[in-house]
Amino acid sequence: MRNIRLTIAYDGTAYHGFQRQPEFHGPTIQGMLEKVWKALVGEEIHMYTAGRTDTGVHAAGQVSNFLSEVRIPEGKIPKAFNSLLPRDIRILAAKDVEEDFNARRSAQWKRYDYRIDNHPIPDVFQRLYALHEPVLLDVPAMQVASRFLEGRQNFQALAAAGGSSKTFERTLYVCQVEPEGGLLRLTCMGNGFLYHMVRIIAGTLLEVGKGKIRAEAIPDILQSQQRKRAGETAPAHGLTLTYVHYGEELPWDIYPRFIDRVNHLET
């Protein structure tokens, strides 16, 4: 039995999230991938996935794995998948991995980006990939607030009810707001994320940007562990799962402050 790891990008606009659901709910990324593999080689598979993104959420570097008995070489798998997948889903890489690799349980940390289009009139080319916020945001205040979210803390105040987690302690290595090509980008890198956590962080930082929550109130909000003290859940379409990290050598260059953070927080 092989264990095959896939790296996947998708535009989530047309999908009812990653996780397979009864067909009448609408198409899902997992459903598409499993259906295409069946059509290609006749094998029924079940996928394990790092971040089971919600309806409308995108991915630039999602990771899944599945067990297979098919002998197709790993290098030919992306092309085979992509020949049948719709154009809004692409397999970027496929690799044979150890039998005990599980895309969800083996993940060490993940990176999510939340994009905000903060102009009076929305950019039509970003409308599906960034939240439009016409009110001019106080970006420095959002940046101060985001720093309070970094570190190992209890994130219950920033988690939606209905998640499967029993504990609320997580580590955010990086939580930062930066300009990116005319947009604002919130980047969250952490060892685990609670249900809707990044979207609630985005919604809370938006309130800070509008002056409705003070940046200095963030530690209080965290400590209260009360969801109602934080901002609303920001819409799904601004969110992208960018990267999932496993045990390989760390790509330090993807984020300058990251190495300091990991050393500081984990040792």
78 is written with which tokens? 């992306």
Smallest distance from its own copies to CB 86, Å: 10
Residue of 11, 54, 113, 117 marked catalytic: 54
Given 2, 35, 90, 227, the residue binding its own copies (CB under 8 A): 90
47 is written with which tokens? 């996928």
Residue holding tokens 């219950």? Answer: 156
> How far is residue 190 from each of residues 14, 36, 131, 150, 257, measured CA to CA in Å?
27, 32, 22, 9, 13
CB-based contact 50:104 (threshold 8 Å)? yes
Q: Which stretch binds its own copies (CB under 8 A): 19-27, 82-90, 97-105, 161-169?
A: 82-90
Beta partners for residue 186, in sequence order? 114, 177
Given 4, 63, 89, 197, the residue binding its own copies (CB under 8 A): 89
The verdict on 235 binding its own copies (CB under 8 A) reads no
The verdict on 124 binding its own copies (CB under 8 A) reads yes
The verdict on 127 binding its own copies (CB under 8 A) reads yes
> 78 vs 190, which CB is nearer to its own copies?
78
Q: For residue 16, give the nearest of 31, 36, 34, 37 by alpha carbon.
A: 31
Q: Which stretch binds its own copies (CB under 8 A): 16-24, 34-42, 67-75, 115-123?
A: 115-123
> 85 vs 175, which CB is nearer to its own copies?
85
Residue 117: strand, helix, or coil: strand
Given 2, 14, 45, 123, the residue binding its own copies (CB under 8 A): 123
Amino acid at 93: A
The verdict on 11 binding its own copies (CB under 8 A) reads yes
> 42 vs 120, which CB is nearer to its own copies?
120
- According to CB under 8 A, which residues from 128 to 187 bind its own copies? 129, 181
Instruction: Look up 54 and say whether it is catalytic.
Output: yes
Strands (DSSP E) found in the chain:
2-10, 48-49, 58-68, 89-97, 109-117, 131-132, 151-154, 169-180, 183-190, 239-245
> 181 vs 247, which CB is nearer to its own copies?
181
The verdict on 10 binding its own copies (CB under 8 A) reads yes
- According to CB under 8 A, which residues from 14 to 73 bind its own copies? 58, 60
The verdict on 125 binding its own copies (CB under 8 A) reads yes
Q: Give, to the nearest 10 degrees, the angle between helix 77-84 and helix 29-41.
A: 110
Q: How many CA atoms does the CB half-sphere of 108 hold within 13 Å?
A: 9
Contact set with its own copies (CB under 8 A): 9-11, 58, 60, 78, 82, 87-92, 121-125, 127, 129, 181
The catalytic residues are 54
